[in-house]
Amino acid sequence: MPSALCYKQTTGDQCHEYFCLANTTLCYDDEIEATSKAESDLNEAFGIKASGGSEIDLAMTLKDKGYIKIDGFQRAID
């Protein structure tokens, strides 16, 4: 499924994994396709913000596409 790992800045230039956004309405057999879809969706949402939209517009764009916040996620490691 398309997903994006979101980070939170803690101190200075330090960041840590905070939550994951995932579109649970889509499922791809191929990880590259899922990653490409997430990247496309994020680019669209950030493009709306860059064109004068707000943080809420960005969030609603992703929500309308089916993305939800996943707390307590576990990242797959190769």
Domain assignment present for 19: no
For 10-30, the pLDDT digits (tens) are 888 899 888 899 999 999 999
Domain assignment present for 16: no
* SS3 sequence of the chain: CCEEEEEEECCCCCEEEEEEEEECCCCCCCHHHHHHHHHHHHHHHHHHHHCCCCHHHHHHHHHHCCEEEECCCCCCCC
Domain assignment present for 20: no
Tell me what pLDDT residue 74 has: 78
Determine the structural domain holding residue 49 and report its residue range: 1-11+27-78
Residue 71 structure tokens: 């707390």
Domain assignment present for 38: yes
Domain assignment present for 7: yes
Counting the structural domains of the chain, the total is 1
Provide CB contacts within 8 A for 71, sequence distance 6+.
Answer: 19
Domain assignment present for 17: no
In this prediction, what percent of the chain has a pLDDT beyond 70? 97
pTM: predicted TM-score of the whole model, two decimal places:
0.83
Domain assignment present for 72: yes
**pLDDT exceeds cutoff 70 at 77:** no
